[in-house]
Amino acid sequence: MVRGSRRKTVLFLIALAGWLGALASALAAAEKAHPVDAGTFIVLVKGQRIATETFHIEQSPTVNTASAELKSESGEKAVQKAELQITPAGDLRKYEWRELSPGKSQIVVEPSDQFLVERIVPEAPQRPIQQSFILPLSTVILDDYFFSQREILAWRYLAQVCGGKLENCRPARTQFGVLVPSQRITLIASLAYVGPEKVMVNGTERELNRINLKLGDDPEWALYLDGNLKLIRIDIPAESTQVIRE
């Protein structure tokens, strides 16, 4: 009887181990990030290509991550990288910006209690800088020249006003608090839905949804999103600049 009990115990433990292994695999699969958007934006000034941004945005149950690399196409070949991590609720978990060339520097923004703390590590011999901002964790990060971050802001606007769907929705003008880490300043971003417009994209006329973006005192930008809410084009007339999804 003892041997039989031991055998049953061993079989139970084997079965339990298999069940726990399957549970661990299921949990790992649930936690696995899946892609939301990826692609390349080309930046044109007066029709001349000056920079390229390659980006990848993915989502998981615990954190959403947007990674991007910006390369200049003219003059000194500058390379910058940025990674933005936000929770599903839209709160900042971490933002990191790095200059890879021609210099080497780094910016990190992270929550600390109810504040946002920015740490800047410049090239030697300059000394590191730390600055605190009395801002909520829901503050939007919009760094210079990373246009995929504008796409994320447009999604946030549509999610807040329309539940993420434009069908039968006419979003009102909405404002968001913004931190620009590279400039160490805070601004107000104002977004307003204009409606569908026909625009040229890579030689083809397309009907896209236009959203106007006003950031502080900067000139107004026109963001154009397709039916899947992917950012396709940005117009900045005051700066003779266009950003086109390649």
Give the pair of three-digit tokens for residue 112.
């600390």
Cα 234 to Cα 76, 110, 185, distances in angstroms? 24, 29, 23
pTM value is: 0.85
CATH code (residue 150)? 2.50.20
pLDDT at 27 over 50: no
Residue 2, in any domain of the structure:
no
Residue 38: inside a domain: yes
Q: pLDDT for 105-150, tens place per residue?
A: 999 999 998 899 999 998 878 899 999 999 999 999 999 999 999 9
Number of domains making up the chain:
1
Q: Does some domain include residue 25?
A: no
- Which range of residues forms the domain containing residue 81? 33-245
Within a domain: 7: no
CA angle 212, 245, 48 (to 5 degrees): 90
Is 61 a domain residue?
Answer: yes
In a domain, 64, yes or no: yes
Residue 5 belongs to a domain: no
